[in-house]
């Protein structure tokens, strides 16, 4: 029997309708499971007699329903490239910055395509408890061996957890995904170029080291601790790392996690090729553990900012430091696939040494105030300027004044349509000079008083030295 193009498309529509009726039947027709299974089995056989296609289903959450299928993700990406022009019913997904809309096939929608002279269909359907399912209808098994999806870029996701998420229902997920489209890359990151190169080399070495990790019997994971004042680019670096590796990102909000059991489920439910991020770790977890008991009331009050409860306070509802470390070192590490774990903090000196010891946080990276090299990169990115007569003045000021890359970038942004490079660089110089003046006034105010800023600085430098010693490359 020869099928013309028109007949093919008719067959496709009929088949889509049959799929839809099948889904309704599964969901709404009363009767025992055995009866439904029987009808489905004989129905399928009858269809197979007249319909020459085989069906291959890809569940989004196969097996135990915890891990997202990598095959499903690859197909989703593959289809994402051309569904918006070919499918009639699409569903929209807004990316995190709210500026772009990503379209994908809606439930029960189908698209047909020609694969090496063979017509195939992709059909999307909702399938409880497997989440979304994509079915692939090739004509014969020989087609399968040639179907590859690796030519497409994977559409990456940013997963977040939040307190209100219910995942008691079998198909509801504890992570909420959005399309990950953060524009930060290592090229846009202002930092010491030598440090930057060291990090990219470290990441490259990590992704190529599967066999090595197997050989030494260690889980294929690498921990990064990013520390530094607010606005120095910790979050931007995480995005740059994820973009560099083409990994998904799991942004774990620890304060929304009820207890260690929930934490374990969340971690097990992450996939390989991902970056697990816990931002501001010092604010999310009581890092003091048992030692908190020995402290005075005043100290306890100050540290009460830690949003989760101490192990001693309420053993039924908490995430503990030991719980977090156990999962990261233990069960979760055995889940397979390469993973990067990133902790960020503005107060590295507050962290428990157990958390950042070698083997857990393998690489410690300080993100600091803007250096001249960082400024030049920002000037190139923000103003398209590689050299300028005002650069010398800015270099001297940056040596005298601590300004974060976020503030430098903000000052470089044109404030009106008339602002050219001269105006923007002038704005930055004014801001740096103002900061310098403020510093002078502060120093005068503190003169003769207790050892404060310098003492703090010395303490900070001492703790930084401690941490740098711990870092590996």
Ligand X SMILES: Nc1ncnc2c1ncn2[C@@H]1O[C@H](COP(=O)(O)OP(=O)(O)OP(=O)(O)O)[C@@H](O)[C@H]1O
Residues that bind ligand X (CB under 6 A): 188-191, 230-236, 346, 367, 405-406, 409
How many whole angstroms separate alpha carbon 113 and alpha carbon 121?
Answer: 6
Q: Which is nearer to ligand X, 105 or 199 (CB)?
A: 199
Least spacing, CB of residue 227 vs ligand X, in Å = 9
Q: Which is nearer to ligand X, 235 or 243 (CB)?
A: 235
Helix (H, G, I), strand (E, B) or coil at 342: strand
How many whole angstroms separate alpha carbon 267 and alpha carbon 78?
Answer: 27
Q: Which is nearer to ligand X, 75 or 428 (CB)?
A: 428
Q: Which is nearer to ligand X, 43 or 193 (CB)?
A: 193
The residue number whose beta carbon is nearest to ligand X equals 233
Least spacing, CB of residue 193 vs ligand X, in Å = 12
Least spacing, CB of residue 279 vs ligand X, in Å = 6
Least spacing, CB of residue 236 vs ligand X, in Å = 3
Q: Which is nearer to ligand X, 110 or 282 (CB)?
A: 282
Least spacing, CB of residue 267 vs ligand X, in Å = 22
The candidate with the shortest Cα–Cα distance to 405, out of 413, 393, 415, is 413
The candidate with the shortest Cα–Cα distance to 12, out of 84, 87, 62, is 87
Q: Which is nearer to ligand X, 324 or 409 (CB)?
A: 409
State the distance between the two ends of the chain, measured CA to CA, in whole angstroms.
65
User: Please, what's the largest Cα pairwise distance for the chain?
Assistant: 98
Q: Is 280 left (phi over 0), alpha (psi -120 to 50) or beta?
A: left
Q: Which is nearer to ligand X, 367 or 379 (CB)?
A: 367
Least spacing, CB of residue 188 vs ligand X, in Å = 6
Strand ranges, E, within 128-252? 131-137, 157-160, 176-179, 221-227, 248-251
Q: Which is nearer to ligand X, 114 or 305 (CB)?
A: 305
The one-character DSSP state at 136 is: E
Least spacing, CB of residue 453 vs ligand X, in Å = 21
Q: Which is nearer to ligand X, 234 or 363 (CB)?
A: 234
Least spacing, CB of residue 94 vs ligand X, in Å = 19
The one-character DSSP state at 349 is: G
The helix (run of H) or strand (run of E) holding residue 458 is: helix 453-470
Least spacing, CB of residue 284 vs ligand X, in Å = 13
The phi, psi pair for 281, rounded to 5°, reads -55, -35
Contacts 24+ apart (CB under 8 A), 102-111: 102/155, 102/179, 104/76, 104/79, 104/80, 105/79, 107/132, 108/16, 108/19, 108/20, 108/23, 109/16, 110/12, 110/15, 110/16, 110/19, 111/79, 111/82, 111/83, 111/86, 111/87
Least spacing, CB of residue 385 vs ligand X, in Å = 16
Are residues 210 and 342 in contact, defined by beta-carbon separation less than 8 angstroms?
Answer: no
The helix/strand count (H/E) of the chain reads as: 16, 13
Q: Which is nearer to ligand X, 86 or 347 (CB)?
A: 347
Which residues face 94 on adjacent strands? 101
* C-alpha separations of 220 from 266, 339, 340 in Å: 19, 7, 9
């Amino acid at each position: 029997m020869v099928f013309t193009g028109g007949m093919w498309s008719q067959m496709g529509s009929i088949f889509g309708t049959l799929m839809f009726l099948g889904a309704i039947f599964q969901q709404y027709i009363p009767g025992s499971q055995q009866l439904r299974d029987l009808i489905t089995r004989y129905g399928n056989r009858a269809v197979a007699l007249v319909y020459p296609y085989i069906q291959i289903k890809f569940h989004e959450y196969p097996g135990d329903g915890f891990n997202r299928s990598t095959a499903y993700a690859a197909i989703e990406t593959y289809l994402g490239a051309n569904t918006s022009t070919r499918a009639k019913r699409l569903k929209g997904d807004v990316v995190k910055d709210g500026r772009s809309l990503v379209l994908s096939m809606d439930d029960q929608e189908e698209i047909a395509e020609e694969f090496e002279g063979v017509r195939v269909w992709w059909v999307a359907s909702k399938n409880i408890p497997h989440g979304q399912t994509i079915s692939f209808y090739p004509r014969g098994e020989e087609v399968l061996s040639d179907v590859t999806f690796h030519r497409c870029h994977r559409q990456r996701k940013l997963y977040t957890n939040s307190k209100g998420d219910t995942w008691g229902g079998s198909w509801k997920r504890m992570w909420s995904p959005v399309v990950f489209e953060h524009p930060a890359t290592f090229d846009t990151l202002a930092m010491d170029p030598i440090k930057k190169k060291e990090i990219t080399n470290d990441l490259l070495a990590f992704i190529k080291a599967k066999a090595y990790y197997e050989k030494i019997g260690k889980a294929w994971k690498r921990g990064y601790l990013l520390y530094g004042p607010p606005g120095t680019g910790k979050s931007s670096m995480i995005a740059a790392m994820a973009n560099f590796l083409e990994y998904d990102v799991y942004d774990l909000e620890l304060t929304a996690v009820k207890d260690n059991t929930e934490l374990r489920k969340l971690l097990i439910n992450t996939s390989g090729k991902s970056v697990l991020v816990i931002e501001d770790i010092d604010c999310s977890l009581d890092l003091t553990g048992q030692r908190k008991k020995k402290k005075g009331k005043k100290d306890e009050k100050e540290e009460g900012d830690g949003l989760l409860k101490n192990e001693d306070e309420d053993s039924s509802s908490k995430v503990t430091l030991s719980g977090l470390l156990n999962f990261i070192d233990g069960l979760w590490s055995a889940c397979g696939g390469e993973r990067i774990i990133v902790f960020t903090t503005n107060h590295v000196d507050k962290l428990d040494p157990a958390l950042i010891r070698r083997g857990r946080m393998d690489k410690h990276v300080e993100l600091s105030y803007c250096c001249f090299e960082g400024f030049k990169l920002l000037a190139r990115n923000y103003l398209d300027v590689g050299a300028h007569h005002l650069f010398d003045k800015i270099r001297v000021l940056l040596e005298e004044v601590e300004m974060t890359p976020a503030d430098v970038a903000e000052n470089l942004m044109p404030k009106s349509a008339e602002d050219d490079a001269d105006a923007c660089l002038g704005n930055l110089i004014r801001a740096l000079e103002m900061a310098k003046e403020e510093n002078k006034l502060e120093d005068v105010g503190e003169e003769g008083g207790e050892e404060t800023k310098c003492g703090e600085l010395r303490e900070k430098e001492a703790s930084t030295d401690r941490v740098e010693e711990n870092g590996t490359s």
